[in-house]
Amino acid sequence: MKKLLALLFSIALATTLFAQTTGSIAGIVTDSATGAPIRGAMITACASNMCGGRAITDSTGTYTILNLAAGNYIVVAHARMYRSQRYPDTVAVVAGQTTPNINFVLTGYTPPPPPNPGSISGVVTDSATGLPIAGANVMARDRRIVRRAITGTDGSYTITNLRAGAYRVMANKHGYQPNMYPDPVILAVGQAVTGINFALVQGQVPPPPGTGSISGTVINVGTQQPIANATVHAWRQNICGGMARTGPDGTYTIPNLLSGNYQMSASAMGFMPQTYPDPVTVVENQNTPNINFALQPRQP
């Protein structure tokens, strides 16, 4: 037991010392036309032709790239259906500090439709009741592109502007298990393929074996009130292992995390992002509770 405690202490100490020798970059990504935050944008920080780290924006458009060695970085933002943008100046990272306000305003980009485009259409229904499912997401993917459509109130969808090729088509909706169409859909030039239908089964996919979870609360440091719809990320080796949003009571749970140590961060609209000071350990088939955040409101 003493050897195990000594080993855990050594690991924690090494991780803390590593965190003190690295810094981070944070900012917000917004749409140039609407000013709205862009969720799911990828921001990369590179130095000496090597990628030092990356991060994905949350629903508030906020990102934080963690564990960057001190130095100067070229920072670039990418987002689907937007033109990529490089930050105009190199960004300096100082050990033990966050370089804030590295913000991007991206311009939307709609690629021209292919010549003689085709389409794929069908209906998504509930497997048990046979009733149409509205608001289901249907995705068609080939080797080059991914296009999507949302089902209407009658459960129907049409994915347009597709070039000729072989597509894998998948449908999903919250509360249902995702479903992949069993065969590739072959689309000729200008062809409209119909009848690509899905019957979704209610219920979520069971969590994979050997995983755990992290839970906690996010509050306003000034008022001590819970913050709803805050986004919490669990990072492992600069890769996002999972994320969750807080409920009205400020609580969150990130499920399906592989065993190991994670760096946690939290962000919310109108608040400064925050990184949890210590690594958080996930144990198989257990929940790691009380990983709490108290966010500082942004200055007007």
Distance CA 239, CA 66 (A): 10
Residue 44: other Cβ atoms inside 10 A: 17
Q: Which fold has domain 211-295?
A: Immunoglobulin-like (2.60.40)
> What pLDDT is stored for residue 241 in this prediction?
76
Give the residue ranges of DSSP H helices in the chain.
Answer: 2-20
For the chain, the domains span: 2-106, 118-200, 211-295
Integer CA distances (angstroms), 33 to 36, 76, 184, 270, in order: 8, 19, 38, 20
> What pLDDT is stored for residue 14 in this prediction?
42
Residue ranges of the chain with per-residue pLDDT less than 70: 1-20, 49, 113-114, 204-209, 237-240, 300
> What pLDDT is stored for residue 142 in this prediction?
85
Which helix (H) or strand (E) covers residue 236, if one does?
strand 231-236
Q: Answer yes or no: pTM beyond 0.95.
A: no
DSSP code at position 162: E
Integer CA distances (angstroms), 127 to 4, 116, 139, 246, 273, in order: 51, 35, 19, 31, 42
Query: Quick check: 297 and 220 in contact, CB under 8 A?
Result: yes
CATH of domain 118-200: 2.60.40.1120
> What pLDDT is stored for residue 53 in this prediction?
86
As assigned by CATH, the class of the 2-106 domain is mainly beta
Give residue-wise pLDDT tens across range 12-35: 444 444 446 789 999 999 999 889
Pairing outcome for strands 287-288 and 293-295: unpaired
> What pLDDT is stored for residue 207 in this prediction?
59
Q: Which amino acid is at 139?
A: M
